[in-house]
Amino acid sequence: MKSVSRRSFIATAVGTAVVAGVGGYFAGSATTRAVERVVATTVTERIREMVTVTQTAAPKLEPITIRWTIGEGHRTGMNSLLVAENVKEIAERHALKIEYNVVAGDGEVVRDLLDGRADIVTLTIYGALPAIEKDPNIKLVYFTDFGMYASLLVGSHTPYKSLDDLRKAIAEGKKIKLGFSRPGSLSYGNVIMLANILGTKVGEGIEAVSLGTIDAIVAALTRREIDGFPWSMAVHLTLEEKGLGRIIFLFSDYFGTNWHERVFATTEDVIKKNPEMIRRFINYWRDVVRYYMLNRDKAIALITKDPPEGLGYSRKVAERYYDVYIHNYFGAPVKAALENIDYWSKQTGLVKNPPPIEKWYTTDFL
């Protein structure tokens, strides 16, 4: 199969999205491992052209305040969020005053939305689908990325170098201990998914250990209390750089770009009350993504800043993560991605009877 570079994939995705317009979701492009792993230090001229021509001078707008709630862990997967927090002139261009609220996880994010403390929220797809199952009033309005940016890191004290090594150990009666944050989280879903991929189940070949924060998980790994854990690839790259473990599996090798990891969600009540606020926020976010894509060095500089201004990654890790992350500039979902999410959410038990896929989202703002 001919390999596909990240640059050519993005150009294809942009062209496909333009053809598809805002009506429904567009079909995913064929991918190989190279899509996720080829380093692309600049965007193509096609992307530059697209993001330039879609940048129009906005008329004078009346200021709008929007309350945006974000899960704390989402910062590791959405580095363009750092642009949003640091390049304030983008929000000013859209006459948006953004009130941030950063909470511990998806459960609290959803509570903020349903209790009226947030107008729009960032959710992992694993947090979004159970929320929609419980309350169809929630609507996804923008899919922020293509692909899955999780990996599996095992501790340097373990002998495992591949999934085949794990399968062999399980066949010999060993139970692999994998850490995760909390039930219902992205990391929990990924543990269950890994068990499925390995041909076993949590409680059989895999022991899932709930540890809370990422610091607690890393501490348990260092103390050799767990064998490894699934998490954001950027975090794993940092741990690998420090010699604390090694990455033996990328979820992108399994799914290619047919996944969406994070989304923006609101409610039908908010949409009916103030559609202009949601529309303006999405246009603002596209400008954030445009800045991120066309200002590589500046974006990486933000990622390398110490928390809370940045993520504190080394330049090497920041560059590698920047170069594999594929932004969904138009925000429309990929059909195959939604089908994968629907299937695996049921397989992992995160949902039992979610609404049909077409009920999850609206493309009215795209």
Contact criterion met (CB below 8 Å) for 289 and 85? no
User: For residue 33, what pLDDT is reported?
Assistant: 34
- Assign 59 a pLDDT band (cuts: 50, 70, 90): low
Contact criterion met (CB below 8 Å) for 117 and 101? yes
User: For residue 55, what pLDDT is reported?
Assistant: 56
The more confidently predicted of residues 350 and 77 is 350
Topology at the third CATH level for domain 150-251: D-Maltodextrin-Binding Protein; domain 2 (3.40.190)
- Assign 14 a pLDDT band (cuts: 50, 70, 90): very low
The more confidently predicted of residues 366 and 43 is 366
What residue ranges of the chain are covered by domains with CATH 3.40.190.10? 6-147+257-359, 150-251
- Assign 337 a pLDDT band (cuts: 50, 70, 90): very high
Per-residue tokens: 340: 């994968």
68 Cβ neighbours under 8 A, 6+ residues apart: 98, 99, 100, 101, 118, 119, 120, 121, 122, 281
Model confidence over 302-315: pLDDT tens digits? 989 988 788 888 99
DSSP letter, residue 67: E
User: For residue 185, what pLDDT is reported?
Assistant: 78
Model confidence over 243-262: pLDDT tens digits? 999 999 999 989 999 999 99
Residue of 18, 66, 12, 8 lying closest to 330 (CA atoms): 18
Measured distance CA(197)–CA(192) in Å, rounded: 9
The more confidently predicted of residues 159 and 78 is 159
CATH architecture group of domain 6-147+257-359: 3-Layer(aba) Sandwich (3.40)
Phi and psi at 150, nearest 5°, equal: -100, 160
- Residue 61, pLDDT above cutoff 80: yes
User: For residue 134, what pLDDT is reported?
Assistant: 95
- Assign 230 a pLDDT band (cuts: 50, 70, 90): very high
- Assign 4 a pLDDT band (cuts: 50, 70, 90): very low
Laid out side by side, the sheet with 262-267 consists of 96-103, 64-71, 120-124, 262-267, 138-143
Peptide bond just before 130 cis, omega within 30 deg: no
Residue-wise burial string across 179-193, b where 16 or more C-beta atoms lie within 10 A, e elsewhere: bbbeeebbbbbbbbb
Q: Within a 10 A sphere around the Cβ of 216, how many other Cβ atoms? A: 13
- Assign 182 a pLDDT band (cuts: 50, 70, 90): confident
Q: What percent of the chain has pLDDT over 90?
A: 62
Ramachandran quadrant class, 318 (left: phi over 0; alpha: psi -120 to 50; beta: rest): alpha
Model confidence over 286-302: pLDDT tens digits? 999 999 999 999 999 99
- Assign 77 a pLDDT band (cuts: 50, 70, 90): low
Strand partners, 225: none
User: For residue 51, what pLDDT is reported?
Assistant: 61
∠ CA 317-320-321, nearest 5°, is 85
Contact criterion met (CB below 8 Å) for 80 and 299? yes
Per-residue tokens: 332: 């429309």
Q: Within a 10 A sphere around the Cβ of 357, how many other Cβ atoms? A: 14
